[in-house]
């Protein structure tokens, strides 16, 4: 597995031990602006992590001064490249394919069986918000500056924010406020409206606390944790009736796990969680 991760050029994957991985956007000289290469590497990385039994929780962060400054505006011309004599229908099909590809790379985070905690700092603009809404837990430093920036570059956000934000945050007036104005908003405001669950004074404090949270989650039964992410994602996208049926069907097999007995015995006798076999 490590060999695969080592092939990535703009994403850094570190095994922190205790089944916790740290994944970093690693293009600090461009404030982690997302070109097609890093976009694809995000997708590859989360597909590999999904299969990697040495990883039970992921921390996603950005190297350098900022989490991510969004789409690489230097490379934006790929959207209106000179397609020679292609007519609009054919150009449209080509762009459709590109947008779907870009969407899918972030959806791999949402679909990853392991919980992903995103720890943001500095600028978190445009595609950075798309990424964050595909993650399971969002935290930031208090000086983070966030923006659903797409309107400012003349487009409707199309790689996740407009689709996932209404599932993350209940206040649709606030969602429309930030998406239509593209204004900068603070970590405090994001916390107030529920986009973030915690805000930290410094980056160091954030990384320490997030590592503790990741370690705690990773110490629990992977059957319990991964089942919980899976069912919560299903519940988000379906009716309560369908989702109750889904969890009953899911647990038809999952309740036969050895983890159930081991975890309940430890819990009942107020002992720490025991080690669990790889999943």
Ligand X SMILES: CC/C=C\C=C\CC(=O)SCCNC(=O)CCNC(=O)[C@H](O)C(C)(C)COP(=O)(O)OP(=O)(O)OC[C@H]1O[C@@H](n2cnc3c(N)ncnc32)[C@H](O)[C@@H]1OP(=O)(O)O
Question: Using CB under 6 A as the criterion, which residues of the chain lie in contact with ligand X when the complex forms?
Answer: 30-31, 33, 69-74, 99, 102, 123, 125-127, 149-150, 153, 158-159
Distance CA 45, CA 259 (A): 28
CB of 126 to ligand X, least distance (A): 2
Q: Which is nearer to ligand X, 13 or 178 (CB)?
A: 178
* Residue of minimal Cβ distance to ligand X: 126
Which residues make Cβ contacts (< 8 Å) with residue 195, sequence separation at least 6? 132, 138, 146, 165, 168, 169
CB of 67 to ligand X, least distance (A): 11
Q: Which is nearer to ligand X, 143 or 209 (CB)?
A: 143
Q: Which is nearer to ligand X, 134 or 247 (CB)?
A: 134
Distance CA 218, CA 22 (A): 13
CB of 70 to ligand X, least distance (A): 3
CB of 86 to ligand X, least distance (A): 18
Q: Which is nearer to ligand X, 69 or 221 (CB)?
A: 69
CB of 73 to ligand X, least distance (A): 4
Distance CA 155, CA 225 (A): 37
Distance CA 175, CA 159 (A): 16
Tell me the H-state helices in the chain. 2-6, 36-51, 88-111, 127-133, 161-168, 172-181, 187-192, 203-218, 222-237, 240-254, 258-268
Q: Which is nearer to ligand X, 144 or 225 (CB)?
A: 144
């Amino acid at each position: 597995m490590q060999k695969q991760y080592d092939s990535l050029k703009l994403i850094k994957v570190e095994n922190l031990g205790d089944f916790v991985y740290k994944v970093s956007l690693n293009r600090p000289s461009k404030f982690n602006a997302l070109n097609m290469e890093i976009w694809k590497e995000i997708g590859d990385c989360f597909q590999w992590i999904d299969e990697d039994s040495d990883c039970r929780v992921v921390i996603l962060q950005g190297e350098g001064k900022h989490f991510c400054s969004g789409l690489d505006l230097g490379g934006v011309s790929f959207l209106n490249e000179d397609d020679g004599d292609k007519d609009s229908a054919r150009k449209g099909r080509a762009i459709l394919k590109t947008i779907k590809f870009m969407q899918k790379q972030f959806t791999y985070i949402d679909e990853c069986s392991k919980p992903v905690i995103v720890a943001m700092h500095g600028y978190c603009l445009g595609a950075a918000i798309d990424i964050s809404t595909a993650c399971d837990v969002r935290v930031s430093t208090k000086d983070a500056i966030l923006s659903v920036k797409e309107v400012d570059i003349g487009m409707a956000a199309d790689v996740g924010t407009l689709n996932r934000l209404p599932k993350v945050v209940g206040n649709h007036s606030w969602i429309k406020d930030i998406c239509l104005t593209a204004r900068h908003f603070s970590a405090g405001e994001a916390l107030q409206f529920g986009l973030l669950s915690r805000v930290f004074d410094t980056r160091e404090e954030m990384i320490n606390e997030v590592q503790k949270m990741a370690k705690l989650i990773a110490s629990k039964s992977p059957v319990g944790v991964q089942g919980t992410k899976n069912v919560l994602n299903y519940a988000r996208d379906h009716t309560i009736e369908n989702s109750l049926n889904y969890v009953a069907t899911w647990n038809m097999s999952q309740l036969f796990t050895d983890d159930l007995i081991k975890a309940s015995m430890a819990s009942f006798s107020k002992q720490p969680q025991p080690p669990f076999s790889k999943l």
